[in-house]
């Protein structure tokens, strides 16, 4: 297994871990390491709650949404992104990607809405998907009040968040829902089958590995038919007519090959796809080692592509 030499010291310091073995403990640890979600001199942050109607006879519930906007903004409506956090479908919340959302808003002059979607195993599929789709609909419905331009609407996320991005984009196409201009899929987990070479090869207990990928999908699906609905984007038969996409892939990741295959299928279906494969780094490398050159280059590249894709003026 090749590892980027600059990542090696980080790798050597990592403990062996299985976050899915103690979900409550992992949630507490992640919360402690996350952002605080407070406004600062560059970014206004507001937490909102919206009522979401139940689907197929289920009871309705309240969905939390975090809205980020730049402190310094003109009179024109802003481009807007719905940013979906990762965490294997079982961990995290808007705080988990607070730093990313804050950075994009400050650098690009856009608005971001981050849904606090329901987590598995307490809420299996389709709960998270339904919440993220509801967040997309809310942004469009409230565009005037939010002062955002839904002609410049994007979806973004990493890991399981990227899987939900792909699922929501597929549903929006099928339902003739909101028009989405751009997708950012950061090291996405897209396929529960784990039949690729990378899924078999990446088993290191210090890294996100095959065991972790399988556990996340098991918690999320809980007996649901993975080929039905929008549970598993990698199983989708028809990838035509989807938004332009940027896919960031890690070289040492059980999800590497399924992401590469998804990119190839998107392109073959006639979509605009930009692919960046970063060799020698694992899942979430930019979080684990933000200072190494591979991380700085990758983050700069996808941020530039995102700015262009969403139509940001900065």
Question: Can you give the chain as a three-state secondary structure string?
Answer: CCCCCCCHHHHHHCCCCCHHHCHHHHHHHHHHCCCCCCCCCCEEEEEEEEEECCCCCCCCEEEEEEEEEECCCCCCCEEEEEEECCCCCCCCCHHHHHHHHHHHHHHHCCEEEEEECCCCCCCCCCHHHHHHHHHHHHHHHCHHHHCEEEEEEEEEEECHHHHHHHHHHHHHHHCCCCCCCEEEEECCCCCCCCCCHHHHHCCCCCCCCHHHHHHHHHHHHCCCCCCCCCCCHHHCCCCCCCCEEEEEEEEECCCHHHHHHHHHHHHHCCCCEEEEEEEEEECCHHHHCCCCHHHHHHHHHHHHHHHHHHCCCC
User: Which pLDDT band holds residue 166 (cuts at 50, 70, 90)?
Assistant: very high
Query: In this predicted model, what pLDDT tens digit does every residue of 10-53 receive, in sequence order?
Result: 999 999 989 899 999 999 888 877 778 888 999 999 999 999 88
Query: In this predicted model, what pLDDT tens digit does every residue of 49-94 receive, in sequence order?
Result: 999 887 666 778 999 999 999 999 888 999 999 999 999 999 999 8
> Is 264 inside any structural domain?
yes
> Is 1 inside any structural domain?
no
> Is 246 inside any structural domain?
yes
> Could you say which of 116, 191, 253, 286 is catalytic?
253
Q: Is residue 168's pLDDT more than 90?
A: yes
> Is 3 inside any structural domain?
no
Active site residue 98: no
> Is 255 inside any structural domain?
yes
Tell me how far apart the alpha carbons of residues 145 and 128 are, in angstroms, rounded to a whole number: 25
Among 22-26, 101-105, 280-284, 305-309, the least confident range: 22-26
> Is 54 inside any structural domain?
yes
User: What pLDDT, on the 0 to 100 scale, is given for residue 297?
Assistant: 98
> Is 144 inside any structural domain?
yes
Residues paired with 277 in a beta bridge: 249
Active site residue 253: yes
> Is 161 inside any structural domain?
yes
Domains in the chain: how many in total?
1
- CATH code of the domain covering residue 130: 3.40.50.1820
What does the pLDDT average to over 236-249? Answer: 98
User: What pLDDT, on the 0 to 100 scale, is given for residue 57?
Assistant: 67
| Residue-averaged pLDDT of the chain | 95
CA atoms within a 13 Å half-sphere pointing along the CA-CB vector of 201: 12
Residue range of the domain that includes 244 = 8-310
What does the pLDDT average to over 248-261? Answer: 98
Active site residue 123: no
User: What pLDDT, on the 0 to 100 scale, is given for residue 313?
Assistant: 78
> Could you say which of 4, 159, 245, 286 is catalytic?
159
């Amino acid at each position: 297994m090749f590892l980027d030499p600059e990542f090696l010291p980080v790798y050597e310091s990592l403990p062996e871990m299985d976050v899915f073995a103690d979900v409550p403990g992992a949630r507490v640890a992640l919360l402690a390491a996350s952002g605080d979600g407070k406004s600062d001199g560059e970014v206004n942050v507001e937490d909102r709650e919206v009522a979401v109607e139940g689907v197929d006879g289920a009871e309705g519930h309240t969905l939390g949404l975090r809205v980020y906007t730049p402190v310094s903004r003109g009179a024109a409506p802003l481009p807007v992104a719905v940013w979906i956090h990762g965490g294997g479908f079982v961990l995290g919340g808007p705080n988990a990607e607070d730093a990313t959302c804050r950075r994009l808003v400050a650098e690009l002059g856009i608005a971001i809405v981050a849904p606090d979607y329901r987590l598995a195993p307490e809420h299996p599929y389709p709960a998270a998907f339904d919440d993220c789709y509801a967040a997309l609909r809310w942004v469009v419905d409230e565009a005037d009040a939010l002062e955002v331009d839904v002609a410049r609407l994007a979806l973004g996320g990493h890991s399981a968040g990227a899987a939900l991005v792909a699922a929501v984009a597929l549903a929006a196409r099928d339902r003739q829902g909101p028009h989405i201009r751009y997708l950012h899929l950061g090291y996405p987990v897209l396929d529960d089958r784990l039949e690729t070479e990378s899924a078999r090869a990446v088993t290191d207990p210090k890294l996100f590995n095959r065991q972790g990928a399988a556990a996340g999908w098991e918690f999320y699906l809980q007996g649901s038919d993975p080929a039905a609905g929008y549970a598993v984007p990698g199983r989708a038969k028809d990838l035509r007519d989807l938004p332009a996409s940027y896919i960031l892939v890690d070289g040492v990741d059980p999800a590497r090959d399924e992401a590469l295959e998804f990119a190839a299928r998107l392109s073959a279906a006639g979509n605009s796809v930009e692919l960046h494969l970063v060799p020698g780094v694992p899942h979430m490398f930019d979080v684990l080692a933000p200072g190494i050159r591979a991380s700085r280059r990758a983050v700069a590249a996808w941020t530039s592509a995102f700015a262009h894709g969403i139509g940001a003026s900065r």
